[in-house]
Amino acid sequence: MDLHKAQIQLKAQGLAIAALVTGLTPDEARWKPDLKSWSVLEVLNHLVDEEIYDFRANLKHILSTSDQPLPEIDPIGWVTQRHYNDANFEDTLLRFEAEREKSLTWLAGLTAPDWSAAVSTPWGTLSAGDMLASWLAHDLLHLRQLIELRYQLTSTANQPYRVAYAGEW
């Protein structure tokens, strides 16, 4: 695991997430293409909580107390339990940026982390390296989700004009 490269990627992905949501109105941020989908605001609040309670916390846990099970979390349930879509959009973006910066600062302070340190989970062994690699991939999954939402918002907001000339999705 190349920690420096991971830090660069997390920083770039954090900036990309912020760029994808910047310029939206609060109503646009709350818009959902259907009842099962998440809004931009829900994705952003999810990323804030994942930054605080999942990836950073669990990586710290694995590196320092791998003999203990991971704390239980409920990222999917939090979307409704914590009323993500009712949050203030601008405040949520600021929180995401601040928490990502805390994560980057914490990662920069690591010296010779043991990427093979691992915890047992119901789904198998999870190493510190697995956790960091998953953090990087998790951002990418939500970047893709945010791109899809922005595409749908662009298509909807510009009706009756069509976006077909842009190419196939």
Mean pLDDT, all residues of the chain: 95
| Both tokens assigned to 104 | 């980057």
Q: Which residue has the tokens 């999810």?
A: 46
- φ, ψ of residue 47 in degrees (nearest 5): -65, -35
DSSP string, 90-145: HHHHHHHHHHHHHHHHHHHT--S--TT-EEEETTEEEEHHHHHHHHHHHHHHHHHH
What's the confidence (pLDDT) of residue 168?
Answer: 76
**How far is 59 from 128, CA to CA, in rounded Å?**
6
What's the confidence (pLDDT) of residue 156?
Answer: 92
- Please say whether the beta carbons of 17 and 96 come within 8 A: yes
Per-residue model confidence as pLDDT tens digits over 50-79: 999 999 999 999 999 878 889 899 999 999
Q: Domain residue spans in the chain?
A: 3-166
Which long-range contacts does 104-110 make (Cβ < 8 Å, 24+ apart)?
A: 104/7, 104/10, 104/11, 104/14, 106/56, 106/60, 107/3, 107/6, 107/7, 107/10, 108/7, 110/3, 110/63
Domain 3-166 listed as CATH 1.20.120.450 = yes
Q: Where are the alpha helices (DSSP H) in 50-88?
A: 56-64, 75-81
Per-residue model confidence as pLDDT tens digits over 98-119: 999 999 999 999 999 999 999 9
**How far is 142 from 153, CA to CA, in rounded Å?**
16
- Please say whether the beta carbons of 51 and 39 come within 8 A: no
